[in-house]
Structure 1
């Protein structure tokens, strides 16, 4: 079981001080958070991709390469990479370079994003979202597995005798997750290729995501990749901790109100009741996180968003210290009664020989 954090890279004033962060400060803060996450025992750091204000997360591989040079163990991922508006050839090249530089501790999550205007910014039509996701990934999948590719599709120029360079490290491409909050077609796509499926169930009732995960598991087995419980599932989450729940609720409310998806809507308590959001003591975060397995079955990766709403670097680092205290408990509890046939989180073969499997990551990509 892998535990990690993700950041969407939003730049907002800290609501507790009113102080705005610069874009440079936010980017450096994300790198600092990633290094701290490794220090306290997390397995994964992931960054989103956005191309509009108030975000700075427009170039994931650049940021992750910077982090790779300052860390040794943590897996570097995305949450997500826009498969619809990025050129598959460039994705293949960029992530292969990063994979070599980071000694294999790289994977990525494919998604369509949640910003409709991004499509025309990159010369595409939002109405083609699903077809673009399907066609572009089909090409990317081949580029990483075939030395010479002849290809023709609807949305980009044809390729003749093309070789993507560099080739994947050791001939093994980065592991791919397909992320979705609404589309069964993406769950189907993940199952078809035998890739991972990530349900970032932050803003919907859990029954919606249970349906997507069950569809993915059923189709994973249908396509002959293994049994339902061998399908590779990741889940999103969000937590804010203090030593007692009253302090946590008091300190988190300003950040909650400063997050657009929450502002003006239900209360913290109401959102926490119906989503993975946990605001409370470390034990409350442990207890709620363990319910995810009861809902979705055994799974491979749990990511938490820890820096929303203009939260200061100091506050985020305090959260990571608290996570460092509870991660051993979460690992022990998730390992208990885990069936032997359920795979661990994905890991490049190069990392198996480096001792990283000792940190709880033991399955090849």
Structure 2
């Protein structure tokens, strides 16, 4: 079971002071948070991709490359790579390069994003979001696995005898998660390729995501990749902790009430009751996080959002220290009674080993 954090990179005023960090301060804070993630023993740091204010992570591979040079074991991921508006050729080359620079410590989460204006900025039509996601990933999948690609589709110019460079490290592409909060077509896509499905269940009630994850598991088995229980699932979550739950609620409330995505909507209490958001003591975070396995089955990756809504860097680092304290408990509890045939989250090393096993079997 992998544990990590993800950031959306919002530049949001601190509602308690009125101060807004500069873009430089926010970018620097994100890298500081990533280094802290490795320090406290987390497995994954993931950054979103946005091309509009108030967000700053427009170039995830640049940021992840910087972090790769300063870490040793942290898995570097995206929380969204826009498969709809990025050229699949550029994605193939950027992430293969990042693989080489990081020694294989990289995977990627494909998503459509939730900002409509991005599509025309990059010459695309939002009404074609699903077809773009399907076609672009089909091309990307081939670019990483075939040395020479001939290809023709609807949304970009054809390729003739094209080779993406560099080739994936050790001949093994980065592991791909397909992220979604609402689209069964994306769950189907993840299942078809035998990739991971990341349900970023931070906004809606669990019943919605139970349906998406169940669909993915069923279709994963349908396509012959394994049993439904062996499908590779990741989940999102949001936490804010203090030693006393009442202190956590009191401190976090103004940030929640003014958050750019869900502020000025449901109350904090209603949102906590209906979504994975946990604001309380460390034990309350442990208890609620453990319910995710009850709702969705055994899964492979848990990412928490901890640095949004204007929270100052000092507070986020305190949150990470507390997360580091409860991390051993979460690891032990999720490992308890975990079926032996449920796989771990793929890593570069495990994918290389699996390819070697498959080659050996084919040679027999």
Aligned to 1:43: 43
Q: How far does residue 351 in structure 1 lie from its aligned partner after superposition?
A: 9.7
Aligned to 2:273: 273
Superposition pairs for residues 15-54 of structure 1, below 5 Å?
15-54=15-54
Aligned to 2:9: 9
Superposition pairs for residues 215-254 of structure 1, below 5 Å?
215-254=215-254
Unaligned runs of 5+ in 2: 354-364
Superposition pairs for residues 64-103 of structure 1, below 5 Å?
64-103=64-103
Q: How far does residue 257 in structure 1 lie from its aligned partner after superposition?
A: 1.6
Distance 1:27 1:258 in 2: 21
Aligned to 1:165: 165
Superposition pairs for residues 214-363 of structure 1, below 5 Å?
214-349=214-349
Q: State whether residues 306 and 319 of structure 2, in contact with CA within 8 Å, keep that contact through their aligned partners in structure 1.
A: yes
Q: State whether residues 7 and 306 of structure 1, in contact with CA within 8 Å, keep that contact through their aligned partners in structure 2.
A: yes
Distance 1:352 1:128 in 2: 35
Q: How far does residue 193 in structure 1 lie from its aligned partner after superposition?
A: 0.1
Q: State whether residues 300 and 344 of structure 2, in contact with CA within 8 Å, keep that contact through their aligned partners in structure 1.
A: yes
Q: State whether residues 258 and 264 of structure 2, in contact with CA within 8 Å, keep that contact through their aligned partners in structure 1.
A: no
Aligned to 1:153: 153
Aligned to 2:181: 181
Q: How far does residue 261 in structure 1 lie from its aligned partner after superposition?
A: 2.2
Indicate the SS of the match to 1:144.
helix
Change (3 A) 1:17 1:352: farther
Aligned to 1:140: 140
Q: How far does residue 345 in structure 1 lie from its aligned partner after superposition?
A: 1.2
Aligned pair count reads 353
Kindly report structure 1 stretches of 4+ aligned residues shifted beyond 3 Å: 350-353
TM-score calculated relative to the size of structure 1: 0.95
Q: State whether residues 83 and 111 of structure 2, in contact with CA within 8 Å, keep that contact through their aligned partners in structure 1.
A: yes
Distance 2:23 2:352 in 1: 36
Aligned to 2:357: none
Q: How far does residue 350 in structure 1 lie from its aligned partner after superposition?
A: 7.8
Q: How far does residue 346 in structure 1 lie from its aligned partner after superposition?
A: 1.4
Q: State whether residues 104 and 350 of structure 1, in contact with CA within 8 Å, keep that contact through their aligned partners in structure 2.
A: no
Q: Which moved more, 1:113-122 or 1:249-258?
A: 249-258
TM-score calculated relative to the size of structure 2: 0.96
Q: How far does residue 219 in structure 1 lie from its aligned partner after superposition?
A: 0.3
Q: Deviations over 1:216-268 (max 9, x none)?
A: 00000000000001100000000000001000001101211221222211111
Q: State whether residues 74 and 105 of structure 2, in contact with CA within 8 Å, keep that contact through their aligned partners in structure 1.
A: yes
Q: State whether residues 300 and 345 of structure 2, in contact with CA within 8 Å, keep that contact through their aligned partners in structure 1.
A: yes
Distance 2:217 2:52 in 1: 35
Q: State whether residues 172 and 352 of structure 2, in contact with CA within 8 Å, keep that contact through their aligned partners in structure 1.
A: no
